[in-house]
A and B are shown apart, each in its own frame.
Chain A
Amino acid sequence: MFKATDIARRAVIDPLFKGRSTVKKFFTYGFICIGLIISDYQFDQMQRFRGWLSVAVTPVQWLVDVPQRSWTWLDERLQVRDELIAENKQLRAQTLLAERRVQKLAALTVENFRLRDLLNSSEQLDEKVIVSELIGINSDPFVHQVIINNGFNSGAFTGQPVLDATGVMGQVIFTSPYTSRVLLITDADHAIPVEVNRNGLRSVAYGLGQYDYLELQDLSDTADIEVGDVLVSSGLGLRFPKGYPVAQVIEVQHLAGQDFAKVLAKPTAQLGRSRHLLLIETPQQQTQAQKEVE
């Protein structure tokens, strides 16, 4: 004979084995999840909330990077003297070359300022730079994102352009106190306004979700573009500063019967390899970011 009290007691001791409780939990948490997803798509305030929550996973991101960092560290310690001397020499030569260029550039910059002053142009060349290090890569093959070790505590902000030594890498899409997430230009959701360096032809380079390619989709079939043309950021769209190299055209297809040419370009930045990145702050963006904070 089962009494009602027995059943009640069992339910208290072992609630899991009551099917209803599991179903109830399932629906409760399921609806919470759906609510979260919708609000994450809809409301910008979630970004801030998310930023603080992300601190919880920062240790994991650091831990994952430990092998790479310790390898670099060991490598530096174990390098033979001769190699170091050779490397040093080479670097010195490079610096010399770079310095020569900078000298020339300094003169050109001053001249450019003067000319712009004459033209009453508001555009400035000066940009603030933060050097940052890559500490993680998104493991999802559909999402081209990397994680860097600068968060909003050290001046990174959403929308900030990111470069490496050879070209534009992407933009910061999300900041937490100590780390930020960078969307690379090759992500399928990314597009960057560019112009052909040779003749100023404007276009937009779309990511395809493949590390080696960008696509220009809106150039007419007769547009003046050739294999080997360098694409630089055009500064339109007010996100990326003007004049940084983005990609080099590697293929131009003229398809019969199509109004638009199919143009593929290879990013100049070392998207899969660079560990040291530059976060750029243009003066306009600085004021904009300050406004957002206020």
Chain B
Amino acid sequence: MQVNNNKHRVVITGMGVVSPNGIGVGAFEQAIRKGTSGIKYLPELESFQFAARIGGVPEISDELKQHYFPKELFKSFSASILFGCIAGREAWLDAGLKMPEELSEPDWDTGAILGSGLAGADILGGTAVPMINNGNTKRLGSTMVEQCMNSGPSAYLGGLLALGNQVTTNSSACSTGTEAIVDAFERIKAGHAKRMLAGGSEGSSTYLWAGFDSMRVLNRVSNDNPESASRPMSASAAGFVPGAGAGLLMLESLESALQRKQRIYAEILGGAVNCGGQRQGGTMTAPNSKGVQRCIRSAVELSGIKPADIDAISGHLTSTMADPVEIKNWTEALGRKGKDFPYINSVKSMVGHCLGAAGAIESIATVLQLYKGFLHPSINCEDVHPEILKLISEERVVRKEMITDNLKIIAKASFGFGDVNSCLIFKKWDNT
């Protein structure tokens, strides 16, 4: 199999995750294998008069927080920064690297692309805006800019790890996390960096979620039954459940990883991003199916594989009416349906939709599945949507954990407002 013609192949050598159903890669793996939901009733949303009062929020102890922030920032810091720093530090250590000394030289060969949909929304809405509106601008202090700027998480991570290559933040709504990995992959492939931490971080914020509540796209009928609320591919899916968290993957050139003798989780064969142009049925909030299919096909072609080589799909699948449309796009893009369709599951069934972090957390699940040889259940899908059953066999929807050594290639895609798409092709590392 021709992998790619470029000089630099890109592998994954470390991962870190902060997820509503598990902090840290080990806890996250156990949770997704068991189908553990991280969705809970959130009383705060009731006080803000949300119709949907459930969500997935990672619980971080004060003890853990102290590793990441100088005491001066304890008063007010954004969850997106905290989650991003925790996941980034874990990925860094998991990749066999050491925490830098206070006076050490920056690591000029390593950078980060850490995206967010709206980093700092919690601090902007909860602290800055009320103070400014009350005429207390003078009392905002020095940290408000760095806490609210969208690049806050990548900026803090860059300082924590003394990164010296590109340190930036991408933003493409719910496509953000996957797009970050595609961009970092391209940067290493082109030889501009040896290593890139890539992924997304999204805080839990009423100010971020409120607009979705008003749009009526959140599940507002399951407040009494949070764990069953996120139901991708189900006939009774009633809207998405907002989530929060972060996922970071250490992407590294193959030669650098081999030179360091570092454990390799998987290889990224290729990735693609595009936009449907909000034409041909595509809008700000709905996808142009032609754009989605082109994105998936591009990723497959750039990876040097055939659609038939794909063993499984980690879907975008948000638990809305768009799920059957997504399945249709996969069947058409790959030219595979019925029993011939790859296995498919959705991490969102357990953690909700972590927005800018979703693609990154789901990519970590994808890599874990390849590395450990299992497919996690897509929970709450007892009643597969009839439109989906017209396209693919019911057994292709993974509803119970499957242990298998036959996984070689998994595709991961994300789609976002703005009609933007991203798709990655991951391959199990078999020392070749």
The answer on A and B forming one complex is no
A residues at B contact (CB < 8 Å): none
